[in-house]
Structure 1
């Protein structure tokens, strides 16, 4: 009789096991379209055997825990690539916008206006006292100065907008840090050494993926299931505590890390290391600033060289490209005696910049070099953005292969568990009949 009772208990355990396994399969199927869901599986373990007179007899199996199909190394690489992708995409988009202000387009481009400026002096040289010739010089100079002013202003507007964009990310970043810390708290409360809070871990990973879109961070899982997030060696989240929040300073630019008392614990200035949607616009703004500096060198040298031949023709302040202006109000005040010397500046090699960062080139050559460098920078950023996008898609595909739900596989498992359930039910039925037969034999 004890053997039949044991058989009944084993069959009952099998029924309970398969119910949980079918429930897990159903949960997988329901989340098949959830991108951040990790496939779960109810794992069974053989129960300890019992020693009987005839030897060690098995006692069936039990569900020990529900596992997740995860690859932490792959997920870590995916988070890193997400940050890099967002960084290069935002930077590439910003530089592409700014490039339009540097690129020459038809008669409105700086190259054309510079050529018109030199040509007007060449024409004035043929008739140094000509009224119309002097008016042409004045108009060409004003058009050139206006174009330089407008180019610098457009670049400055773009640069400031990018810094504002970076600053606007800090609110969402800090919200996500608090969200992840709260998930850490829930996971630590819910988990036991043998049971993991799988769905909470999925939600936390989803929040971490969103955070990776804004900044790059390193993750370390600690006992209890919580994770520690750090940025460039500085802790952001440790367990259920947000150790440091972020505060972006657009004037530097710099990222300040502040503790609960709002005390700055670290200041990070390497925006490429910070990466993501915060670092991308910030580094793009810095790149645009270097373009402005080169434009300033062009403007300052133009004013200096022309003023050396025609004193006071241009006025220039700080920054040079924003303040360059023609000081001559009346065309009749233009001195045509040095017109040839000014016209010859078109092909003259002059020095741009301040020591030790100087270069000797012609005006058109220097401007073309600026455009070339801008084009190279934009092309490089676009290449990096495309590369990171391809890499992210590949990593996401690999993650889906590891953690994603295959409907075909789940249906196979479902059929298997249904057959197990039917077999266990049949075993209970047959065992019950055997028990009844044994009972009926008792007088």
Structure 2
């Protein structure tokens, strides 16, 4: 700035710098409602000084090629970690609500009612052991109860199949997100060559990373080239540099397992290592909750079948013959009334003595099973055992719902805090806009003044 033309250069660069600052401010204002956008700030700096008189003086202002991005890396990592838990509890809550609907007793038409009707039907038969109407009614109530067991078991198995569908779809989504992160890594590296900024691409990558964390537990870190490396919780890479690895699903014991595929195509089962995200929630419901409830329903149905069959085979029917099995099947899914009884109601063994068609001893003994404490179902009655299943389902749903609501609150708080760090404030941007506008006007005034000085010199 040793001469008047140096002043013109100062004014020119100042105009360009303030113009760029206005551009950045305008971009912030335009993205005030854009999810995941981090506000930007032009990094202004003095130009290199030159000797001026006895000292040095800067030649004005200039814009650094790298535009600052208002972003807290540690906060971003915390959001992703909490999002993993949120995804897990969301999946568990949604899937367990489906299980709860299967055990819905509020309508009065559930399995509790069916079992009560079954035992009452035996009591009615005891009041009239040779009655045809009572025998037909008993078989109808027995078929209803067996059908309820069948339906409950089938519905529970369907929940497991639904979880498999969700798992397979989620694995496909994870692969797409991993490829998107790898593609953004390449774009960031290309854009930032020479010290330029790739803030928009970084915002996009953070948004994709947050979405990915909702599906599976991950660890992510950035290298010195700007590449984001993403690992599963078990340490298997999903993204390295500009390359993405693939997850796949394989059938194992009737269900999908999640497998990681390396560069050579070799697969590693990582199902047991998944600890977060929706994948974890669905896997836990499929592999823990559903088998537990289904197993307990099988225990209940088998206990009813075995205990009723034991007594029925010791009783006598209307033909004065020992009774056969009342129920067939080995689980809740295939529990059924014996076909021979459905064909001939006289084969129901209501009596305990031979040669007495009016004997009701066996019908009374079977009816009394309702109140018996049985060792094969945890020393409880049939009703108490089933009610414990229903209670546990409700408790699991409540627990999952509470954890989901808690995690949703935590992530909301973190998102709100992120907005205070990275979000756009219209008030702040408007102030900046006025500030940069005045600076632009001042730079223009400087050029105008220098022009007048040049005119004066030309007229001397």
Same topology, TM > 0.5? yes
2:430 alignment partner, one of 387, 396, 411: 411
Give the SS at the match of 2:197: coil
1:256 alignment partner, one of 256, 259, 274: 259
Pair 1:171 & 2:165 matched: no
2:385 match: 366
Does structure 1 conserve the Cα–Cα contact (< 8 Å) formed by 2:168 and 2:256? no
Pair 1:316 & 2:329 matched: yes
Counterparts in 2 of 1:168 and 1:248: CA distance versus 1, 3 Å: farther
1:326 match: 337
Whole-angstrom distance in 1 between the partners of 2:140 and 2:18: 88
Whole-angstrom distance in 2 between the partners of 1:248 and 1:390: 36
Q: Which runs of 5+ in 2 are unaligned?
A: 314-324, 353-361
Q: How many residues align?
A: 432
Does structure 1 conserve the Cα–Cα contact (< 8 Å) formed by 2:28 and 2:424? yes
Does structure 2 conserve the Cα–Cα contact (< 8 Å) formed by 1:106 and 1:112? no
Whole-angstrom distance in 1 between the partners of 2:209 and 2:25: 26
CA RMSD of aligned residues (A): 2.1
Report Cα offsets for 1:19-78 as digits up to 9, x if no partner.
111111111112112111111111012223223332222222221120111111222222
Q: How far off its partner does 1:212 sit?
A: 2.6
Give the SS at the match of 2:42: strand
Does structure 2 conserve the Cα–Cα contact (< 8 Å) formed by 1:166 and 1:279? no
1:294 alignment partner, one of 293, 296, 306: 296
Does structure 1 conserve the Cα–Cα contact (< 8 Å) formed by 2:247 and 2:258? no
Give the SS at the match of 1:219: strand
Whole-angstrom distance in 1 between the partners of 2:177 and 2:368: 61
Q: How far off its partner does 1:238 sit?
A: 0.7
Whole-angstrom distance in 2 between the partners of 1:424 and 1:16: 9
2:9 match: 9
Structure 1 residues 194-205: aligned runs within 5 Å: 194-205=195-206
Report Cα offsets for 1:323-352 as digits up to 9, x if no partner.
111113222111112222212211111123
1:80 match: 81
Q: How far off its partner does 1:252 sit?
A: 4.2
Report Cα offsets for 1:340-384 as digits up to 9, x if no partner.
22122111111236xxxxx21111100110010000011111122
Whole-angstrom distance in 2 between the partners of 1:281 and 1:58: 63
Structure 1 length as normaliser, TM-score?
0.91
Pair 1:428 & 2:447 matched: yes
Give the SS at the match of 1:26: helix
Does structure 2 conserve the Cα–Cα contact (< 8 Å) formed by 1:167 and 1:248? no
1:151 match: 152
Structure 1 residues 378-393: aligned runs within 5 Å: 378-393=397-412
Q: Which runs of 5+ in 1 are unaligned?
A: 354-358
Counterparts in 2 of 1:266 and 1:46: CA distance versus 1, 3 Å: farther
**Greater mean deviation of Cα atoms: 52-61 or 328-337:** 52-61
Q: How far off its partner does 1:87 sit?
A: 2.8
Q: How far off its partner does 1:262 sit?
A: 2.7
Q: How far off its partner does 1:296 sit?
A: 0.7
1:23 match: 23
Q: How far off its partner does 1:440 sit?
A: 4.2
**Greater mean deviation of Cα atoms: 109-118 or 250-259:** 250-259
Q: How far off its partner does 1:106 sit?
A: 4.4
Pair 1:401 & 2:420 matched: yes
Does structure 2 conserve the Cα–Cα contact (< 8 Å) formed by 1:173 and 1:246? no
Whole-angstrom distance in 2 between the partners of 1:299 and 1:402: 59
Give the SS at the match of 1:230: strand
Whole-angstrom distance in 2 between the partners of 1:193 and 1:308: 85
Q: How far off its partner does 1:259 sit?
A: 2.2
